């Protein structure tokens, strides 16, 4: 059972290039969200929908792996003697103890993807708003041409 769970963790690490790369991606996603919220980043509906679909596919894959990650947060049932308890505690520490541990990297990946999805949604809405503002601003010129 642990092999399958560890395999899922290796897949996550491979996809995101490890903890350091994931931290960079998370920082970039937060920056994109801030830029979109400030109106400094906008994307048209077609491009945004492709970006959103890619992010949602990754979120779906992580959702599929999530039950396996949950198991990593549970102490393995190795027995009741002192050594078994020590091994179980070591397992938990290895899986979920710091920013480099698999469980936390997984949750950071989920957070990064959600932040990125929000940024894309806002960027699409900002593009639509700026497109409408441009249309409204140019409308008087169009009306002058037809007069």
- Please enumerate in sequence order all residues whose Cβ is within 8 A of that of 104, keeping only pairs 6 or more positions apart, or say none: 96, 98
* pLDDT tens, residue by residue, 25-37: 899 999 999 999 9
- Please enumerate in sequence order all residues whose Cβ is within 8 A of that of 59, keeping only pairs 6 or more positions apart, or say none: 110, 113, 114, 117
Average pLDDT value for residue range 72-91 = 92
Average pLDDT value for residue range 71-100 = 89
Average pLDDT value for residue range 132-139 = 61
Percent of the chain with pLDDT over 90: 47
- pLDDT category at 2 given cuts 50, 70, 90 is very low
Quick one: tokens of 104? Answer: 């936390």
Total residue count of the chain as it appears in this document: 147
Quickly list DSSP for 76-110: ----SSHHHHHHHHHHHHHHSSSTTSHHHHHHHHH
Question: Does residue 142 register a pLDDT over 70?
Answer: no
Give the global pTM: 0.73
Rounded to the nearest integer, the mean pLDDT of the chain is 83
């Amino acid at each position: 059972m642990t092999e399958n769970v560890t395999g899922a963790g290796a897949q996550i690490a491979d996809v995101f290039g490890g903890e350091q790369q994931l931290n960079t991606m998370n920082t970039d996603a937060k920056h994109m969200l801030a830029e979109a919220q400030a109106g400094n980043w906008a994307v048209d509906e077609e491009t945004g929908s492709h970006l959103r679909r890619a992010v949602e596919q990754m979120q779906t894959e992580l959702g599929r792996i999530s039950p396996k990650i949950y198991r990593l947060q549970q102490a393995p049932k190795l027995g009741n003697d002192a050594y078994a308890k020590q091994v179980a505690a070591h397992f938990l520490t290895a899986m979920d103890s710091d920013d480099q541990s698999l469980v936390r990297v997984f949750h950071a990946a989920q957070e990064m993807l959600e932040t990125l999805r929000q940024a894309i949604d806002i960027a699409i809405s900002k593009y639509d708003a700026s497109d409408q503002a441009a249309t409204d601003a140019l409308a008087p010129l169009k009306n002058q041409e037809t007069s």
